[in-house]
Every structure is written in structure tokens, then in C-alpha cells.
Chain A
């Protein structure tokens, strides 16, 4: 696509192997999804080497699109820079529609027909997650395949009306087994978490017969949970947040998770405690919090 005052807009894809459309992987859909793009870049790098060594099973093809939105990344904007619309809220797209609908349509046209689809996703709530595989509960979700990533958690959630325009919702309706992989971070590169994600995706590709290479590395026996069962802990007060635990921490009932201090006098306004035994699945990561803001989501464990 041309622009009146910038370079042409291009979306690049990398193809590996030949034959049946086996798996498609999409990285940054938004301009701030640096971690997601990093993971895809590492995948392209690894798959190039794997292909060179004959590691892709005959008759299987792979598509990796590291970025659907380089224009926004280049101007440090999360959404489409001209009108602030979100490409990931435009699927399945419309070829005669508005600009981001057309981009979504072109992307979806390239992504349709694959057996498996992976999107490196980010979340609109500011925070850190345990890296996990996430699926919409549409009736087409495939928890057993999601476990093959070997990530700590596999989660499912009920779609809301505005989720019906997500890539993964539409992928599922078009018979692609779709998975969102959450890499823990968005705007920064976390190499450790990122490389674990790369390993998890390659592991899944190996376990589903797309890669011939047996993929080693340590894997979790994934715990599958419905997100509605996670315990939400909110801020009783607004102020400066001093977090004492992070995503992945094991916490006990009554344990202090964070302090919220007065923004001017430093007095502790709230000692945020866990009400259950469990694992911190999500942790707010901005230094200031609003009253009633979601601070932690905890996966409770029965002792």
C-alpha cells in the first residue's frame, strides 16, 4: 500500500517447507509489541537453520509473519498511526472497507487454511503474566494440542462481543486450531521469557509432526484453567505501588503481595495480602495504581 508522505506499507512473511499449510505464526499486530516481534524474529532465525538441516517434515509448510504493523512501530504508536484503529479488532477484514479492514483482510487471506495458527499476543491491561497459551472458548478450542507447547498454563476464556473481531476468533471459525501465546512482556525484550516461548512453539511443532527434529528442553505439564476461576485482587486505594511478588511467585494465604503508599507522604495506605494459597498468574506492573485497579490474578491451589 502506498502512503502520501511515507515509504510504502509492506507486510513480510517467511515461508519454510513445502506442501500442506501446516502452521502460521503472527508476531506484532500492534506497534508496541516488541517482545512478540522479537520472538518471531528468533523463530525465523531458528527455522532457517532447521530447514537447512532438513528438519521440516516433508509435505509441511510454515508461514511466519513477524509484524503486521511496521508503520506503527516506526512511530512508537500501538495502533494504526493515522486513525488509532486496532488491526487485531478488524478480522476477518473487508477488502473494500477501511484501511485497517483491508490490512486485516490481506493478512487473513494469507493466514487462512492452515491447520494450526499461533498469534504472539499482548493484553490491554498493564501487567506481567506467566507465559501461557490462551484460547477463546468458541467450541473450536483444542486444549489437548495447547498442552503440547509445554508451557506452565493453558487458559480458556469466554469471548465478549468485541472479541469476535480478533484474529484468533476468526481463525477458529475458519477451522484453524488457533492459540494465543503470551510472552509475559510487550514493550520490552525479555530474552529469557522470549527464548522460552521460541522453545515452546518449536516443541509444539515437533510434537504435532511439523518438525522432524526431536525438540528437547524442559517443558511443563501444562495446567489448564478457565480464566473465570482466577482470584482477582484489587487496589483498595490509589497511590504508588511497591510490589513484593511477581508473576509466577508462589504465595500463601495472608502473605503480603504489595504495599500501596501515599503519593505525597509515603505512608502505607494498603498492605495488599493474598487471601488464598496459590500462584500469581498476573501482576500489575505500573508504578502507580488507580483505586479498584486489578493488581493480581491468582491461581488458587487446594492444599
Chain B
């Protein structure tokens, strides 16, 4: 059943709507929400939503409980290929839990939280931006690690990153939900404005696996999911560009690298000169790599999980 959770008039004969697909079976059961499209340039969640709606919709009898699918929390952003909310210059994932008395963006954020809260599990799907390529991973605030890591390990992702708390992240959808007792896992994978089918299928399998683990799904689930690397503590090395230029690499993310290994080069196309070499300073697992080649000093080039003993 399609339900509209937000409906507001736009100036010229159009309704701004946020909709969800509610699939239910059984008398009681848990409530599982899959949300995406907070950032309009992240599209992997679209395919995940499609596949989940298709599979669970076609096999509703195998569901025990309620699956709610929200493909587009920022529909105007998706339509205009904008990360933020058109007309507001705002990152939607920095205004939660919203404000019913605030701007339209804040009112929308408030309505989303009110609709989702109380769910037994929320998966918030992101897919990096245009600039970075990410290995399929779950990100969890250190404050919620004990509670959420066991759920995350059932999602079939390569990597679980337990990261430090930051005040600015208190305005995310995930933090707003987790801080009020609604468990929310943030998934990151792929690259902005593109859909990686293989990664999406893995996440669909992982979500069904987690639903089965929670007693909500009796259908097939993948049997070959990897054991996720769980990164706790301060063990992520950030590599930033030393120089501005054009980044050239033939590497992909999701691979082990050794200390000193060359990840790529930053070059000057005008003078035909190599400006700097991006090297791994540690032995570890490369889970983020620069996708957009034009870089400035400081641009994030890679993130590596330091697998050396610390």
C-alpha cells in the first residue's frame, strides 16, 4: 500500500510528496524501514528499494511483520541532481529532527522522524557522492556501537566502521532516531549519481538476511555473505591530497594495501609533470578511494583501515 507521509503545495500546480510503500503480512510482527534519497545525488538506494519492493511484494506470504520502503526523502533533490534541498541550500541530513514550526525543510524533516520513529529497525542507505567511491559498509556512531554492531554484522557488508561522535552529526536522521531508541544503521556504498548493481544486490540480500535474523522473513537469503571487518577505535587513516591537480589511479576500493604501496598520482596536465604520489602509510584495507579526478590540496583521496596491531 502506498502512503503519503508529507504533502505540501508547490507554487505552480504541483504537490511535493514523500511517499512510502507499506508491505504487511501477519497479525503482529516487527516494523522494518528502509529509507534513502536524503541526498539527491545518491542513487544506489533506488535499486535497493525497487528490488526489496519487488521481492517482498511478490512473496508477501513469506513476510512476518511490516516492511516500509521510503525511496525518496528528498524527491526534489533527486529530480534536480542536487545533494541538498532545492530552494534551501541545505543538506537535509543536517536538519533532523526538524521543527514543526520551522521552514518547509525543517517541517518535512520533523514529519519524517515522526513517521519512522518506533520502528524496530531502520536502514538509511547512502551512496557516497560524486567524489568518492566506497566499499559497501555500515557506519555506526561509537555511542551506539554495542547496541548496533550485532545488527550490522548481519547485513552482509564488507566493512563496519565505528566512528567517533561529532556534534555536527547529531543533526542526522540516524542520530535523531538512535538517540530516541529507534535503531538505525547507515549504509554507504558505491559512488554518487551511479548505480552499482552488484553492490545493490548484496545489500538487498543483506537486508533480507537481517529481516530473517529478526524473525521477519522466511524467504531465501544469501548463504555466501562475507564476515564484515569491524573497525573500532581510531584505526582509520585519511589520505588527503598534498597538491592540487588531476588524480590518476587504476585502483578500486575494497582491497588490501601494503605500507608504501602507490595508490595513485596527482599530475599537472599543462606541464606534463607528476606533482605528488599518493601512497598508503600503513598496511590495511582500502575502503574509500577518490572517484572524481580533479583535486585541490586537502581533497580526500582515500581512507584505509589500519590492520596493523595498535
Contacts and interface: CB of A to CB of B under 8 A. Distances in A.
B298 A83 contact: no
A238 B10 contact: yes
A98 interface: yes
Given A83-B131, A96-B240, A162 B168 contact: yes
A84 B83 contact: yes
Interface stretch (A195-203, A273-281, A287-295): A287-295
Interface in B86-132: 87-90, 94-95, 101-104, 107, 129, 131
Contact of B298 (A84, A102, A263, A290): A102
Given A1-B297, A162-B95, A288 B90 contact: no
A293 B87 CA distance: 11
Contact of A161 (B13, B171, B245): B171
Interface in B130-172: 131, 167-171
B272 interface: no
Contact of B299 (A5, A79, A99, A239): A99
Given A84-B84, A125-B103, A291-B9, 6 more contacts: A4-B294, A97-B238, A97-B298, A99-B296, A161-B170, A290-B104
A28 to B, nearest CB: 15
A164 B102 CA distance: 19
A99 B301 CA distance: 11
A98 B168 contact: no
Interface string B264-292: 00001100000000000000000000000
A289 B129 CA distance: 30
B103 A2 contact: no
Contact of A292 (B104, B168, B294): B104
B168 A165 contact: yes
Given A2-B243, A162-B95, A101 B298 contact: yes
Nearest to A96: B240
A293 B299 CA distance: 36
B171 A290 contact: no
B131 A126 contact: no
Given A124-B89, A161-B168, A98 B299 contact: yes
A165 B10 CA distance: 32
A237 B13 CA distance: 11
A258 to B, nearest CB: 14
B8 interface: yes
Contact of B269 (A4, A79, A124): A4
A15 B60 CA distance: 71
Interface in A1-29: 1-5, 9
Interface string A108-152: 000000000000000011100000000000000000000000000
B12 A291 contact: no
B89 to A, nearest CB: 5
Nearest to A160: B171
Nearest to B246: A4
Interface residues of A, number: 41
Interface of A: 1-5, 9, 78-79, 82-84, 89, 96-102, 124-126, 160-162, 164-165, 232, 237-240, 263-264, 288-294
A2 B294 contact: no
Contacts, number: 101
Contacts of A164: 167-168
B101 A232 contact: yes
Contacts of B238: 96-97
B297 A2 contact: yes
30 contacts: A1-B296, A2-B297, A3-B296, A4-B269, A78-B89, A82-B294, A83-B299, A84-B84, A97-B298, A99-B296, A102-B297, A124-B89, A125-B103, A126-B87, A161-B169, A162-B95, A162-B168, A164-B167, A165-B168, A239-B9, A240-B11, A263-B12, A264-B13, A290-B8, A290-B87, A290-B104, A291-B10, A292-B104, A292-B107, A294-B102
- Using C-beta atoms within 8 Å of the partner chain, give the interface range for chain B: 35 or more
Nearest to B295: A4
Nearest to A228: B101
A9 B296 CA distance: 10
B296 A124 contact: no
Nearest to A86: B89
Contacts of A289: 11
Contact of A4 (B103, B131, B244): B244
A100 B131 CA distance: 14
A239 B11 contact: yes
Nearest to A263: B12
A96 B298 CA distance: 7
B298 A292 contact: no
A4 B300 contact: no
B94 A162 contact: yes
Contact of A293 (B103, B168, B298): B103
Contacts of A290: 8-11, 16, 87, 104
Contacts of A124: 88-90
Contacts of B295: 4
A97 B240 CA distance: 7
Contacts of A232: 101
B243 to A, nearest CB: 7
Contacts of A3: 244, 296
B95 to A, nearest CB: 7
B9 A238 contact: yes
A295 to B, nearest CB: 11
A91 to B, nearest CB: 11
A91 B230 CA distance: 30
